[in-house]
Amino acid sequence: MDDGFLMEVCVDSVESAVNAERGGAGRIELCAGLVEGGTTPSMGLLQVVKQCVRVPVFVMIRPRGGDFLYSDREVEVMKADIRLAKLHGADGLVFGALTEDGRIDTELCTALLAVCRPLPVTFHRAFDMVHDPLVALETLISLGFERVLTSGCDSSALEGLSLIKRLAEQAKGRIVVVPGGGITERNLQRILEGSTASEFHCSARSARDSGMKFRNPNVAMGASFSAPEYSIKVADVAKVRTLNAIAKNIL
């Protein structure tokens, strides 16, 4: 924590983690699959990131993209990943689970939290898919989550700003409400001033051209909507520093 706020940067590579720390991030959310909103990273990635940065590393526990309604076997994967993440040095964990009618899955969350402890846990943007966010917030508080990451149940934190502010007022310090989703240098000031948040979440990425000299333009490694093979997105030190400076000036 610095000057009353904390910037969390979500990353999916060692390079991005190092850049985030160099730019002033106070915490890292380590993921794979940022195109899908973040999935569980490899334990190899976690090990190397922990060797390269000193700020806390919170690990995403999400076995796949898509919805947050999990099968019994997916739950077993999540529990195994939590145990491994703790073994390899995670400083905190990030997950979310919902019932089919859009409520917090209290039974599953209770079971996963028990495996996570004593580490702190963030409920991720599965929160933005709930039926009633005000009720859901009380549920997360009763379960013992330390944080909830949210865009205010809208397409971005700026669009959902009024709800984020309402959630923060309702929380009254019982849980940290962390704005996230589409946060940039252009809108951070409005989001922080409008939400009274003490923490915020961003990716602060820029595209970097691949070092490949030979390129085959006819082949794609993923689905047609996936990121191009010859462009790599990494956390941008300058962007992180700019966001950090904006937040310091405000708060």
CATH number for the domain harbouring residue 170? 3.20.20.380
The 10 Å Cβ neighbour count of residue 47 is 13
Residues spanned by the domain of 170: 4-248
Task: Return the DSSP state at 180.
Answer: B
Among 54, 25, 44, 43, CA closest to 204? 25
Is-contact 204 152, C-beta < 8 A? no
Specify whether the backbone of 235 is left (phi greater than 0), alpha (psi in -120 to 50) or beta. Answer: beta
Is-contact 85 93, C-beta < 8 A? yes
Distance CA 93, CA 123 (A): 9
pLDDT for position 231: 86
Is-contact 133 153, C-beta < 8 A? yes
Distance CA 17, CA 51 (A): 11
**What is the total count of domains within the chain?**
1
pLDDT for position 176: 98
3-state helix/strand/coil string of 100-111:
CCCCECHHHHHH
**pLDDT in 10s for each residue of the chain, 251 residues:** 445 689 999 999 999 999 999 999 999 999 999 989 999 999 999 999 999 999 999 999 999 999 999 999 999 999 999 999 999 999 999 999 999 999 999 999 999 999 999 999 999 999 999 999 999 999 999 999 999 999 999 999 999 999 999 999 999 999 999 999 999 999 999 999 999 899 999 999 999 999 999 999 888 887 666 667 788 899 999 999 999 999 988 75
pTM, two decimal places: 0.94
CA 122, 125, 126: angle at the middle one, nearest 5? 100
Q: What's CA 146's distance to the chain center, in Å?
A: 14
Among 137, 198, 131, CA closest to 167? 137
Distance CA 134, CA 224 (A): 37
